[in-house]
Amino acid sequence: MTVIRVCLFSAVLLLAACGKTAQAPIEVRNAWSPLTPPGATVAAVYAEVSARQADTLLSASSPVAETTQMHSTLEDNGMMQMRPVSQLALHADETVRFEPGGLHLMLTGLRQALPADSQFALTLHFAKAGDVTVTVQVRPAAN
Domain assignment present for 37: yes
CATH number at residue 96: 2.60.40.1890
pLDDT in tens, 30-80: 999 999 988 999 999 999 999 999 999 999 999 999 999 999 988 888 888
Residues 102, 72: Cα–Cα separation, whole Å: 5
Domain assignment present for 106: yes
* Residue scoring higher pLDDT (121 or 39): 121
Selection from 58, 43, 71, 67 nearest residue 132 by Cα: 58
Q: What average pLDDT score do residues 112-127 get?
A: 96
Domain assignment present for 3: no
Domain assignment present for 53: yes
Domain assignment present for 30: yes
Beta strand 42-51 with 104-110 is antiparallel
Domain assignment present for 90: yes
Residues 15, 88: Cα–Cα separation, whole Å: 39
Domain that holds residue 52: 25-139
Domain assignment present for 71: yes
Domain assignment present for 9: no
Domain count, the chain: 1
Specify the pTM.
Answer: 0.81
Q: What average pLDDT score do residues 124-130 get?
A: 97
